[in-house]
């Protein structure tokens, strides 16, 4: 029994002496069992062939070698039962293998219950495949992908039964919940990304404003410096320090 799992189950049923529809079932562990049924034609091709073969064999025997009526009837019933067992075995195996093949890693291996026929052979008359239907915690996207696989596995047989459809419907509900959760998660991620972009933009604007202020302060400080002295003043001082040449006016 798996917690949070469903079991695709084909219940073994006693085979009637006359050909009539057979059934299969699917059970849900932990939450009770629900019947699941499928149907097949009222009479298989094997039953018809064996019946014709028995009739022709009976007509071919001499009158003195005919088996007693009760024994002949029993032989016909055994042949019909074998044909039904062969058909049932084929149906059960195909049904369960379809579930397992599509379910992949979420499906277990098919297990069968057998019945021994009048010919001494064992025929599968029931079977089951466990399907993991539990959601994946904190990962709605993975849960959605998983439920899609479960739905396909439940509906994989050629003729899905009522219980197969119930399991698919249950997985569809979980898939819808996962979609809602995924949408909410995506909205939250979008809001968080928008807030992060706004914070980065504000930080970039603050840095640009700080750089502009620094440049303005530097320009203002350069404008407040005193004017450098003029060189012509130094030239005049140098000329005053040199004596004037003396002119001799004597005769």
Residue 109: inside a domain: yes
Q: What is the pLDDT of residue 95?
A: 94
Task: Name the helix (H) or strand (E) containing 71.
Answer: helix 69-103
- Whole-number average pLDDT of the chain: 75
Task: Tell me, yes or no, whether 234 lies in a domain.
Answer: no
In this prediction, residue 63 carries a pLDDT of 52
Residue 212 lies in a domain: no
Report which of residues 57 and 217 the model is more confident about. 217
Whether 153 has a pLDDT exceeding 90, the answer reads yes
Number of compact structural domains in the chain: 1
Rounded mean pLDDT, 138-146: 94
Q: Within a domain: residue 223? A: no
Distance CA 244, CA 246 (A): 6
Whether 182 maps to a domain, the answer reads yes
Per-residue confidence (pLDDT) for residue 45, from 0 to 100: 53
Lowest mean pLDDT among 33-42, 47-56, 113-122, 211-220: 33-42
* 119 lies in some domain: yes
Residue range of the domain that includes 102:
5-188
Structural domain includes residue 152? yes
Residue 71 vs residue 88, higher pLDDT: 88
Q: Quick one: average pLDDT of 198-223?
A: 80
Q: Are 130 and 107 in contact (CB under 8 A)?
A: yes
Overall pTM > 0.75:
no
């Amino acid at each position: 029994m798996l917690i949070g799992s469903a079991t695709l189950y084909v219940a073994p049923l006693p085979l009637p002496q006359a050909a009539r529809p057979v059934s299969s079932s699917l059970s849900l562990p932990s939450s009770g069992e629900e019947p699941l049924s499928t149907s097949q034609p009222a009479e298989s091709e094997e039953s018809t062939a064996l019946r014709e073969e028995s009739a022709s064999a009976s007509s071919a025997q001499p009158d003195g070698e005919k088996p007693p009526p009760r024994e002949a009837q029993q032989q016909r019933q055994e042949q019909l039962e074998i044909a039904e067992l062969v058909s049932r075995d084929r149906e059960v195996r195909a049904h369960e293998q379809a579930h397992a093949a599509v379910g992949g890693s979420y499906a277990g291996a098919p297990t069968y219950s057998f019945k021994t026929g009048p010919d001494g052979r064992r025929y599968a008359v029931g079977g089951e495949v466990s399907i993991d239907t539990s959601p994946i915690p904190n990962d709605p996207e993975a849960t959605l992908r998983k439920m899609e696989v479960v739905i396909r596995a439940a509906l994989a047989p050629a003729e899905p039964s009522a219980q197969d459809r119930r399991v698919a419907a249950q997985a569809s509900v979980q898939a819808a919940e996962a979609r809602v959760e995924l949408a909410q998660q995506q909205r939250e991620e979008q809001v968080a990304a928008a807030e992060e972009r706004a914070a980065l933009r504000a930080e970039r604007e603050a840095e640009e404003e700080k750089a502009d202020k620094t440049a303005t302060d530097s320009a203002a400080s350069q404008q407040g410096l005193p004017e450098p002295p003029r060189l012509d003043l130094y030239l005049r001082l140098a000329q005053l320090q040199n004596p004037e040449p003396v002119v001799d006016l004597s005769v």
